Amino acid sequence: MDKRVEVLVIGGGPGGTPAAMALAQGGKRVLLVEAAAGLGGTCLFEGCIPSKILHETARRLREITQAGEFGIHLPHPLVQLDWRHLQARKRALLQRRATAAQQRASRLKNLELQFGQARLLGARRAEVVSHSGERIEVEFDTCILATGSIPNPLPVRGADLPQVSSSDRILDAPCVPERLVVIGGGPIGIEMAQMFHALGSDVSVMQRGPRILPGVDEELAVMLQQHLITQGIKLYLDCRVRRICHTGQGVFVQYDMEDGCDQIYATDVLAAVGRRPNLEGLGLENTTVAYSGRGIQVDETLQTTEPGIYAVGDVTGPPMFAHWATAQGLALAAHLLGREAPSFPRPEQVTAVIFSTPELMTAGLSESGAREAGFEVGVARYDFSQDARAQIGGYDNGLLKIFYDCSTLKVLGVQALVANAASLAGEAALLIRSGTTLGAVAEGIHPHPTLSESSVSAARGVLMEHPHQCL
Ligand SMILES: Cc1cc2nc3c(=O)[nH]c(=O)nc-3n(C[C@H](O)[C@H](O)[C@H](O)COP(=O)(O)OP(=O)(O)OC[C@H]3O[C@@H](n4cnc5c(N)ncnc54)[C@H](O)[C@@H]3O)c2cc1C
């Protein structure tokens, strides 16, 4: 045996890295193995960060084109996007963050970092092949699998054409796509569609189901659809892509809809049809770890069916978010360090932001999810058309909904569609985590004029209509 460690962590993304660091800080001897060239995972190199860097430029460009509404007259045709500069800015920021992550890890004397591919050989053994081809065997007491997820393949003929990209590849495209077809109306598809549209692409979205964002409150998703259409994005619902055919410089995307079949021309196609757990080459067959297409099976302490082997983040299946992976990783580290009652994240507490335009924030249970969980659900609403901050900002077409338990008035979930909805997510997460009641929300004193007043007004609205419900 070449090496013996207390904990082997496989995967240096937002799940594995914080877990490895917390364990090393707590005194465990840890080996963290990462297959890419730097720490940060999908989030840093292909997901959250690069997509939001492009999104930020798209947002600023959109603001410039809307400046006239605010009394600012700009020489429109002179506003140009410098895609190469944007790509260089993106690379520099990613590099800066990757270097900082590596420096933080290297300061921990109990943490050894190895870049290479890890594979389980048994319940307590793994091999690591470094990027230079050197192979070592590692014995461990505990292993954490944090290998993340990869894009689902697009199951149609022509998906392998060079014009068809997944989300990671399109973020590095050599230029802004001229005519982009996005296949998939989930969070990644919608974010990318609006972002590339603002950057200058002609965009069409094809969604198999009757509406976009199936996991989100229907009323808010339908409102967002209307925004997409108003912005000039073509939306094809109940649309099944049949085939992609090469033609000249681009492709034809052939599709079926209720009223027949047709095709549209595209220079680029983005396949955004979900992600699946990354189990490839992990050696699970050498263990008793149970898994399916949805991910590695774990119990409430994130232990797999093989005692001593745990899993965190995307590899355990949905929800697939960076902050979720980190919360799992840190809770697991606390558990393995023997800390008392570590707080493992529970699905009813999940918070997310879809960086659409306007942004869509979700926290806790949806209305239908709460009903399925057996609650009698009340809904407190706030329409941003009456909101001072939203009116000032010129984005007053939005809605906030608070879902609460009618018997206790506890907040179960919050969803909002409005520009900058992300700024509401932190408070919403705390309301749910702490079991706050509508009465307490209504007593909150939030600064004026800010979007944060919306939850207070929504709660007051319910309590004024039903004063006897004040708890
Ligand atoms: C386009 C896009 C946008 C996104 N935007 C957001 C967002 O705004 N907010 C948000 O919360 N989430 C977002 N996500 C999701 C987020 O990126 C993931 O949920 C998060 O990265 C999961 O973290 P993880 O640690 O589980 O896995 P990952 O980040 O995927 O990290 C897994 C790591 O394991 C490594 N690895 C895999 N196999 C091995 C092996 N055998 N040996 C060694 N190393 C291995 C990989 O190289 C990788 O670095 C986005 C995703 C995409 C694709």
Mean pLDDT on 59-78: 87
> Residue 471 has what pLDDT?
45
Among protein residues, the one with the nearest Cα to ligand 1's atom 52 is 47
Q: Is 425 in the pocket of ligand 1 (CB under 6 A)?
A: no
Q: Is 304 in the pocket of ligand 1 (CB under 6 A)?
A: no
Mean pLDDT on 181-199: 98
Write down all domains in the chain, each with its CATH number in brackets.
Answer: 3-151+276-336 (3.50.50.60), 164-273 (3.50.50.60), 348-469 (3.30.390.30)
> Residue 48 has what pLDDT?
97
What is the position in ligand 1's atom list of the atom closest to the CA of 282? 41
Q: Is 413 in the pocket of ligand 1 (CB under 6 A)?
A: no
Q: Which of 8, 42, 273 to mutate to test the pocket of ligand 1 (most atoms within 8 A of CB)?
A: 42
Cβ neighbours of 467 (radius 10 Å): 8
Q: Is 48 in the pocket of ligand 1 (CB under 6 A)?
A: yes
Which of 233, 197, 216 has the alpha carbon at shortest distance from 360? 216
What is the position in ligand 1's atom list of the atom closest to the CA of 192? 1
Residue 468: pLDDT band by 50, 70, 90 thresholds? Answer: low
- Tell how far the Cα of 274 is from the centroid of ligand 1, in angstroms: 13
What is the position in ligand 1's atom list of the atom closest to the CA of 352? 11
- Tell how far the Cα of 149 is from the centroid of ligand 1, in angstroms: 6
Indicate if the pLDDT at residue 15 is higher than 60: yes
Q: Is 281 in the pocket of ligand 1 (CB under 6 A)?
A: yes
Q: Is 35 in the pocket of ligand 1 (CB under 6 A)?
A: yes
Residue 76: pLDDT band by 50, 70, 90 thresholds? Answer: low
CB 20 within 8 A of CB 101: no
Indicate if the pLDDT at residue 168 is higher than 50: yes
Q: Which of 10, 33, 48 to mutate to test the pocket of ligand 1 (most atoms within 8 A of CB)?
A: 48
Q: What is the pLDDT of residues 216-271, one digit of tens each?
A: 999 999 999 999 999 999 999 999 999 999 998 899 999 999 989 999 999 999 99
Q: What is the pLDDT of residues 327-373, one digit of tens each?
A: 999 999 999 999 987 889 998 999 999 999 999 999 999 999 999 99
Indicate if the pLDDT at residue 469 is higher than 60: no
Indicate if the pLDDT at residue 470 is higher than 70: no
Tokens standing for 431? 């309301």
Tell me the catalytic residues.
448
Higher pLDDT, 466 or 6: 6
> Residue 39 has what pLDDT?
97
Residue 178: pLDDT band by 50, 70, 90 thresholds? Answer: very high
> Residue 465 has what pLDDT?
83
pTM: 0.96
Q: What is the pLDDT of residues 265-319, one digit of tens each?
A: 999 999 999 999 999 999 999 999 999 999 999 999 999 999 999 999 999 999 9
Q: Which of 9, 43, 315 to mutate to test the pocket of ligand 1 (most atoms within 8 A of CB)?
A: 43
Residue 74: pLDDT band by 50, 70, 90 thresholds? Answer: confident
Among protein residues, the one with the nearest Cα to ligand 1's atom 13 is 48
Q: Is 365 in the pocket of ligand 1 (CB under 6 A)?
A: no
Residue 77: pLDDT band by 50, 70, 90 thresholds? Answer: low
- Tell how far the Cα of 112 is from the centroid of ligand 1, in angstroms: 21
Average pLDDT, the chain: 96
> Residue 341 has what pLDDT?
79
Mean pLDDT on 185-211: 98
